[in-house]
Amino acid sequence: MGMRDSLGPCAFTEDALQHLMVEAKPSDSSTWFVNTMDDTPAMPDEEEARYLVSWFFRSTSCVLNLFEENEISESMASWHQRCSEEPEDKASVAVFFLIFAIGAQTCPEHRDQEAEQYFNYGRFLTASIIMDDISISAVQSNILITMYLLGASRRNAAFMYLGSAVRAAYALGIQRHDINKHFK
């Protein structure tokens, strides 16, 4: 039984434009890659990072279960202590900045510009480093990018990144039972 059958004819069920959605597009969307290289966001201090991580988990816990909160908190504390720039840490850095982006996007303060900076840096790292070597981090990063874009009402771009996440997961073979047990 459809909505129209339940409610009957009304403005809600008879709107000819009901299937159209507004697609948000940031003003600097065509130059984000260059802007990110010129304006790399600073790593938040430990207290700020914990705050953003807590908002990330508050906003995604009911729909996205990629990480355990205590594992992320421990990894982030370790990252803050060593502040490493080694290539093997770039995957974690991308994940952390994308978590910061979603945390800043969903916290009660108006921090959209900061969220966009974190997001663009995490997306930059994903595009420049992680995509060369498909890994679980590549899948996680693309899923985090998808979540951020959905929260920013950019569903077409979100769909593209979700497709990348799915293809990366297939490339890793995690849909196969014999391979999947190695990722547990």
Q: Rounded to two decimals, what is the model's pTM?
A: 0.78
- Could you give the number of structural domains in the chain? 1
At residue 32, the pLDDT reads 55
Average pLDDT, the chain: 81
Structural domain containing residue 105: 44-60+67-183
Distance of alpha carbon 20 from alpha carbon 29, whole angstroms = 22
How far, in Å, are 8, 9, 11, 14, 176 from residue 1 at the CA level? 12, 14, 19, 16, 37
118-175: per-residue pLDDT in tens? Answer: 999 999 988 887 667 788 888 999 999 999 999 998 888 899 999 999 998 888 888 7
- Residue 173 resides in a domain: yes
What is the phi/psi pair of residue 12, to 5°? -70, -40
- Residue 6 resides in a domain: no
